[in-house]
């Protein structure tokens, strides 16, 4: 399955729309937002990473196994599927949800960003296929490979992948 996601900030996420609780309040601070993201990742509702310093139209491919192409960097994280779907979501949409109490993931994400899956826990491997410091935009190149495998693992993190917020 292939997807294209535009983001303005170089930050991409996969979210369980049914379980994600992203509201903070009208006047949130960045540290509150990043703490929320880590909490939601540890509750298996979100996977979020920094793709680059700038936004782009990202070409994303969902796969059963990794390609033989070399990845620049890789991480793994688990997420739970509870309504037979996950969504790709960008940082701008996540900040809108954080600010507006009645905003939802589905209100921010069109169906073209939906990943249909059986319910259960999944190990998600994200393979970034380019060096973000030496990036040349190519329309047909796959920027990220996402490998999904059913799992019983439950893992935790203490920060957002590839995002230094110091």
Q: What is the CATH number of the domain that holds 102?
A: 2.60.34
Residue 110 lies in a domain: yes
> Checking DSSP bridges between strand 56-63 and strand 144-150, what pairing results, if any?
parallel
Residue 123 lies in a domain: yes
- State yes or no: pLDDT of 140 exceeds 80: no
Residue 122 lies in a domain: yes
Residue 164 lies in a domain: no
- State yes or no: pLDDT of 100 exceeds 80: yes
**Model's pTM, two decimal places?**
0.94
Residue 166 lies in a domain: no
The contacts of residue 2 (CB under 8 Å, 6+ apart) are 59, 60, 61, 62, 142
Domain that holds residue 129: 2-150
Total domain count, the chain: 1
Residue 54 lies in a domain: yes
Are the CB atoms for 122 and 154 separated by under 8 Å?
no
Average pLDDT score over the chain:
93
User: Would you state the pLDDT for residue 127?
Assistant: 98
Are the CB atoms for 160 and 38 separated by under 8 Å?
yes
- State yes or no: pLDDT of 42 exceeds 60: yes
């Amino acid at each position: 399955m292939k997807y294209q996601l535009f983001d303005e900030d170089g930050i991409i996420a996969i979210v369980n729309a049914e379980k994600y609780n992203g509201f903070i309040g009208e006047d949130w601070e960045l540290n509150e937002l990043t703490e929320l993201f880590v909490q939601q990742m540890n509750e298996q509702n979100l996977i979020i990473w920094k793709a680059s310093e700038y936004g782009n139209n990202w070409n994303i491919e969902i796969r059963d196994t990794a390609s033989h192409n070399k990845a620049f960097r890789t991480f793994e994280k688990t997420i739970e599927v509870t309504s037979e779907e996950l969504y790709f979501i960008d940082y701008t949409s996540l900040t809108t949800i954080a600010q507006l109490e009645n905003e939802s993931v589905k209100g921010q994400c069109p169906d073209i960003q939906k990943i249909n899956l059986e319910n259960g826990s999944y190990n998600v491997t994200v393979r970034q296929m380019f060096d973000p410091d030496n990036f040349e935009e190519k329309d047909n190149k796959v920027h990220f490979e996402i490998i999904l495998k059913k799992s019983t693992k439950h893992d935790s993190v203490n920060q957002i992948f590839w995002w230094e917020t110091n």
